[in-house]
C-alpha cells in the first residue's frame, strides 16, 4: 500500500540544553508529550540515534510515521518504553531469558522482540504478531516517553533511504514540514541503531548488531545466535524481519571497503584516489587516526583510533551525509572488522558499512 504524505506546514524546533532549569525541561516535554497523545509526531534524541515518535497504540499515528519517512509500511517500528512495569501491557508473556536481558541492559541500546498483546496495532508492527521493544537510557527520551503516555513507536528520524540522524540538523534536513516537533538536545552518543534480539524462541537470535555485543548478551543468557543475513550480502535465506530486506542507505558516491595490512590499505587507497582524481572525480576516505595523514583524497574523515570503534560509530552517518554534500564520487573506507577492536563494537560498524557499500570489499 502506498503511504500518503501528510502535509504539515509548521514544524516546531525545541532546543533543550544541559543548563536549562528542570521546570523548563519539564514544560517543553509536557508539550511534546501532549502532541503524541493527540496523535502527532515528534522527533526526539536517544542514546543511539534520533527517533521519529508517535503513539505506538494508535494505528493512525503509526500510519503517519510511515508517511513522514516515506517508509514501506511492512517495515516494523520499535516501541519505546520508559519503565519496566509498562512492558506487560504490550507483550503476551516475558520469557525468562528476555527478563534477564532486560534487567542487564535496560535502559540502554538493546531492542527485544516479543509476541505482541492485543493492544498493539498491526500498523505498528508492520503486520507481525511480534513487537520490538526498547527502553532508551537518554534522560530526555525517558521523560518524553512518560509525558507521551508510555508507549512511543519510533523508527530512526530520517527519510527512508538516508542514514539515521545523529545530529538535530540531520533531522531538520529530512523532516521539516513533515512532523509537528523536533526536540534538539545533546547526548546522542552511540551513533548506531540499537542491537535487536529476538527472544521469542529458545535461543536468543541477534537480528541487528549494535553497541550491545554478542559476547555481552551471551555473558547474561548463555548461547545466542546471529542471523545469517546480517553479514552475508549473498545470503538466500529469507530475513527474519521484513525490515531487513530493505535496501539501506548508500551514499551517492561508490563506497568500497578495503581490507588488509594497514600499509597495503593506505597504498591501495592512495593509488585509487590518485587515479580517480586525475580523471576529474572527487574522492573521499574514512581512515583511522594512525595513518590518516598519509591519505591524499579530497575529503578525509577521521575514524579515530583503530582499536576503538566507538568514534567511527558515532560519526559514520555524519560522514556519509557529508560525502553527499561534498559531491564525492568515490569513497574508500578502511575495514573495522572486530578483530581490530577491543570493544567488540566493530561488528556493528562493519554491518552498517557493508550495507552502505552494497557489500563491496577489496582485500589487498
The span from the CA of 221 to the CA of 104, in Å, is 10
Distance separating alpha carbons of residues 215 and 223, to the nearest angstrom? 10
Distance CA 320, CA 301 (A): 10
Give min distance, CB of 249 to Mg ion, in A. 9
Helix (H, G, I), strand (E, B) or coil at 62: helix
CA distance 338 to 71: 31
Nearer of residues 40 and 136 to ligand AMP, judged by Cβ: 136
CB of 161 to Mg ion, least distance (A): 10
Instruction: Give the footprint of Mg ion on this chain (CB under 5 A).
Output: 156
Minimum CB–partner distance for residue 156 and ligand AMP (Å): 5
User: Closest CB to ligand AMP among 141 and 241?
Assistant: 241
Report the C-alpha gap between 285 and 251 in whole angstroms: 13
- Residue ranges binding ligand AMP (CB under 6 A): 75-76, 78, 113, 125, 128, 130-132, 155-156, 193, 196, 207, 241, 243-244
Q: Which does 75 bind (CB under 5 to 8 A by kind): Mg ion, ligand AMP, none?
A: ligand AMP
Smallest gap from Cβ 196 to Mg ion, in A, equals: 11
Residues whose CB is less than 8 angstroms from the CB of residue 63 and which lie 6 or more positions away in sequence, other chains included: 3, 73, 123
Using CB positions, name the residue nearest to ligand AMP: 243
Q: Which does 291 bind (CB under 5 to 8 A by kind): ligand AMP, Mg ion, none?
A: none
Grid coordinates 538535530 are at which residue?
168
Contacts of 278 (CB under 8 A, 6+ apart): none
Taking the least distance from each CB to Mg ion, the nearer of 156 and 213 is 156
Q: How far is the CB of 63 from ligand AMP (least distance, A)?
A: 15
Pick what 130 binds: Mg ion, ligand AMP, none; C-beta below 5 to 8 Å, kind-dependent: ligand AMP
| Separation between Cα atoms, residue 118 and residue 35, nearest integer Å | 24
Q: What does 78 bind: ligand AMP, Mg ion, none (CB cut-off 5 to 8 Å by kind)?
A: ligand AMP
At its nearest, how many Å lie between Mg ion and the CB of residue 164? 5
* Element (DSSP H or E) covering residue 27: helix 22-37
Distances (CA, A) of 249 to 11, 162, 191, 238: 25, 5, 15, 20
212 or 328: CB nearest ligand AMP: 212
Q: Which is nearer to Mg ion, 156 or 298 (by Cβ)? A: 156
Amino acid at each position: 500500500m502506498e503511504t500518503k504524505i501528510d502535509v504539515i506546514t509548521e514544524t516546531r524546533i525545541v532546543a533543550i540544553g544541559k543548563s536549562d532549569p528542570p521546570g523548563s525541561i519539564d514544560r517543553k516535554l509536557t508539550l511534546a508529550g501532549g502532541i503524541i497523545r493527540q496523535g502527532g509526531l515528534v522527533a526526539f534524541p536517544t542514546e543511539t540515534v534520533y527517533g521519529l515518535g508517535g503513539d505506538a497504540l494508535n494505528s493512525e499515528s503509526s500510519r503517519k510515521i510511515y508517511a513522514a519517512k516515506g517508509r514501506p509500511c511492512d517495515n516494523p517500528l520499535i516501541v519505546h518504553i520508559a519503565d519496566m512495569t509498562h512492558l506487560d501491557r504490550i507483550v503476551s508473556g516475558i520469557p525468562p531469558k528476555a527478563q534477564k536481558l532486560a534487567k542487564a541492559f535496560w535502559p540502554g541500546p538493546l531492542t527485544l522482540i516479543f509476541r505482541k498483546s492485543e493492544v498493539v496495532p498491526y500498523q505498528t508492527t508492520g503486520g507481525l504478531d511480534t513487537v520490538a521493544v526498547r527502553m532508551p537510557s537518554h534522560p530526555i527520551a525517558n521523560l518524553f516517553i512518560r509525558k507521551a503516555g508510555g508507549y512511543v513507536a519510533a523508527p530512526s528520524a530520517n527519510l527512508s533511504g538516508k542514514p539515521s540522524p545523529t545530529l538535530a540538523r540531520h533531522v531538520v534536513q529530512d523532516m521539516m514540514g513533515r512532523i509537528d516537533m523536533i526536540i534538539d538536545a545533546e547526548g546522542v552518543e552511540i551513533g548506531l541503531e540499537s542491537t535487536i534480539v529476538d527472544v521469542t524462541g529458545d535461543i536468543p537470535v541477534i537480528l541487528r548488531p549494535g553497541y550491545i555485543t554478542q559476547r555481552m548478551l551471551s555473558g547474561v543468557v548463555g548461547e545466542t545466535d546471529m542471523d545469517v543475513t546480517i553479514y552475508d550480502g549473498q545470503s538466500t535465506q529469507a530475513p527474519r524481519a521484513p525490515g531487513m530486506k530493505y535496501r539501506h542507505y548508500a551514499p551517492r558516491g561508490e563506497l568500497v571497503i578495503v581490507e588488509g595490512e594497514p600499509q597495503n590499505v593506505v597504498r591501495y587507497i592512495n593509488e585509487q584516489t590518485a587515479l580517480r582524481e586525475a580523471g576529474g572525480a572527487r574522492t573521499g576516505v574514512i581512515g583511522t587516526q594512525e595513518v590518516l595523514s598519509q591519505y591524499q583524497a579530497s575529503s578525509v574523515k577521521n575514524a579515530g583510533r583503530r582499536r576503538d570503534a566507538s568514534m567511527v560509530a558515532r560519526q559514520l552517518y555524519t560522514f556519509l551525509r557529508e560525502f553527499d554534500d561534498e559531491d564525492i564520487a568515490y569513497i574508500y573506507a578502511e575495514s573495522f572488522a572486530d578483530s581490530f577492536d577491543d570493544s567488540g563494537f566493530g561488528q556493528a560498524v562493519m554491518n552498517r558499512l557493508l550495507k552502505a557499500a552494497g557489500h563491496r570489499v577489496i582485500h589487498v
